[in-house]
Structure 1
């Protein structure tokens, strides 16, 4: 029976602690191994994520845990039996009292349950995803009927994936709108209609943007605007001073012609008004 107990060992006195993430940047040939150590009924449970080599034994992983936590290294006897973890118990190694043994039982967790190991830690190779479990049995039977560790058998509970490094999100500034231009070229513009001294609009010789040909006569009508008394402003007409302009005598002749036509009309009206003889 003592030979079977050489696979296990004795406990240490600690407070119950949360899983400890001991892994940092691991070498290419290293893996993360979850290790749960239960110091027995009424005592503490320790869970740690330990960086270990891909071919390390259970005994090597247990020693790596103590080194990373800064606790006492595992104590073993000549046959390889684990007598103490983290210095607990301080003495003795697999002591038998009647039909019971005070020893460290060795277990493996597979995410759903614990399995009692019949192979000592020196002959067992640690596997990623499998939990290395230990529980001190003050009066154990030395077989799978002994209670398993109280920690989680799920490696993901102890060895949580490392959070990805935070990345900064670039700030996108909205493009600034160009200020509206109030002057210069290229934009629409308004042209004020020149006014006369009396405040009304005046005639314009040439419309904006056009040029009168030399020697030609142009005429532009300007929209009428209201006068002070509400009557529409008469449209003014101006003639150019080109060389082919009409003489004032044409205007006088036209007026005379209108007068003659008017007189003839009046004469006809009088004759019709006379009574027949």
Structure 2
């Protein structure tokens, strides 16, 4: 049985576990030793190490045949040799993996659709050039380039570019309750989504069928504008719809991070994940996922 190392043991990793158990010997890289008992209870062998502490990564050299890299880049920090904002965590992970007697056979990495930047609402696929605007997206581009270079050493590297990830416990309901504005129709942007369960399923499919040095848009079938998404969310959960403002007025009410998402508009083709990874999304439309989230939260409240 192959050994699979999960790097970045958060929500998506937990959702992947039921699909991985019985097929791999699962190793979970964790920073907090107190989490050992949880991961053991989930059928994984915990490995205590920290991507921000290179010396702690020595133990993973040659440890796994397959790696699922779910860890985000640092939230800040510059690396002049790599686009100004580099992902040192990915760099240190790959350096540690390269020290082993053998390299992993396969790596699956979850990146972001933010690498495309603003496409002015155009429908695009994975052949579109990356043009990141934000620092966080530039760090993701750097991670992708590092992984592609590593892949040229004979490792099958598959990159899943994920948009806004949502689930019952990952909804911006607090923002709706606070009455934060969204853009009026004339200024609104297209936004893209994927349910967390579907992303976990896609990552598992990429472990089996992902092609080498290949990027995949891990997005659902929806073509929805951001304001319409918040209206849909508000209606489903019985909250007031958010106020609509012009972009110039919204700049006075929202943070720089929130505004950055309102300056990028794109519609993403997901034909490649269907054709090459052979999946059928459980929640192909945002409405499907929100309906399921409402039922799940209702059940939690009644239990």
Please indicate, yes or no, whether the TM-score normalized by the shorter chain is above 0.5. no
The TM-score by the shorter chain falls in which range?
Answer: under 0.3
Larger radius of gyration: 1
More helix by proportion, 1 or 2? 2
TM normalised by structure 2 equals: 0.20
TM normalised by structure 1 equals: 0.21
